Amino acid sequence: MKSFFIGKYEIKLPIIQGGMGVGISLNGLASAVANEGGIGVISAAGLGLLYTQHKGTYDERCIYGLQREIRQAREKTSGMIGVNIMVALSNYADMVRTAIAEKVDVIFSGAGLPLDLPAYRTADCKTMLAPIVSSARAAKLLCEKWLTNYGYLPDALVVEGPQAGGHLGFKREQIDDENYALEHLIPPVVEVAQSYAAQKNIPVIAAGGITTGQDIARFLDLGASAVQMGSIFVPTEECDASIDFKQTYINSHREDMRIIQSPVGMPGRAINGEFIERVEAGRERPRSCPLHCIKTCDYTKSDYCIMKALYNASKGNMKKGYAFAGGNAYLADKIRSVKEVIERLKADFFLSKAVL
């Protein structure tokens, strides 16, 4: 596996660990991946639920939580640390400003197009910006908007296909349509990135359903500079989720992978379970909204509170929550260390290249 550059930074291992919330990828997992030469990513979603011991409002606890997670990761690694910040978060601006103030290496931003992300850069900003898109059209639009409004181009483009876990940037009928498979999305986004080559090198990162070293080799051959992988790092010793959450992956089967409609207003991929079945039966209606954490969520029209559901699941309470997961998450068979997972990926990658 060849290294690649984001800005002036050389990333030795072309693997970005996907940001997973609530409480799935925090400083423990992120630092472990960074120590192996990849980019470890902290999820900014719902941190106020994790830091209830800190006084203040939910939004204030979110800021404190993100500061703590970044600083704790820095204590454990000298490698690259990123933060995933969803555009859909009500406190999006606070989270972006906090990440930049903490001098995090990269902000990855999706669940909506981060059209104003460069506006938060400060004069001494060292944080790189990597938007998450689902098409070449979105990539081109975003690059043009950033260039016109801010004189800035993305430092990387993450292309997330329909096999990803969590929120998906596709209509429901597109998810299983071969025309929208990640293999078809990467080359045109690479073309968009290359159209700006005279101004900036913009590496393209393939994401969604990537599980093996053979997958990595295939997407690098299609022009991607790196891959983003989330689900494969959930059943690891360093993952910040509870053992019960990790076990949900290990116990799952192909038929358990479900597309659900999220209160955020987007389809999402999750592992089926009791909570999802209760939601579909109309037995999880929220009575109020104490967090106001998602811009597009109206609790009077929502079937449940997604932040609380994801938080409950991360703590192992699967009766009150569910696990987001990529399309191949059911392949998990045991809990390994991050180092072991990456060594297996490397071995599979080199074997696939040798066969070719």
Residue 264, amino acid: V
Average pLDDT across the chain, whole number? 93
Question: CB-based burial of residue 84 (10 Å sphere; 0-12 exposed, 13-18 middle, 19+ buried)?
Answer: buried
Backbone angles phi, psi at 6, to 5 degrees: -115, 110
> Which pLDDT score is estimated for 283?
78
Residues 247 and 228 in one domain: no
> Which pLDDT score is estimated for 142?
97
Asked if residue 66 belongs to a domain, the reply is yes
pLDDT tens by residue, 327-341: 999 999 999 999 999
Of residues 162, 158, 165, the one with CA closest to residue 180:
162
Residues 93 and 230 in one domain: yes
Structural tokens at position 101: 């103030």
Domains identified in the chain, total number: 2
Asked if residue 307 belongs to a domain, the reply is yes
pLDDT tens by residue, 58-117: 899 999 999 999 999 999 999 999 999 999 888 999 999 999 999 999 999 998 899 999
Asked if residue 142 belongs to a domain, the reply is yes
pLDDT tens by residue, 114-171: 999 999 999 999 999 999 999 999 999 999 999 999 999 999 999 999 999 988 888 8
pLDDT of 259 strictly over 70: yes
Residues 204 and 295 in one domain: no
CATH number of the domain to which 145 belongs: 3.20.20.70
Structural domain boundaries enclosing 259: 243-320
Asked if residue 329 belongs to a domain, the reply is no
Asked if residue 326 belongs to a domain, the reply is no
> Which pLDDT score is estimated for 287?
63
> Which pLDDT score is estimated for 262?
83
pLDDT of 286 strictly over 60: yes
Residues 85 and 121 in one domain: yes
Residues 215 and 204 in one domain: yes
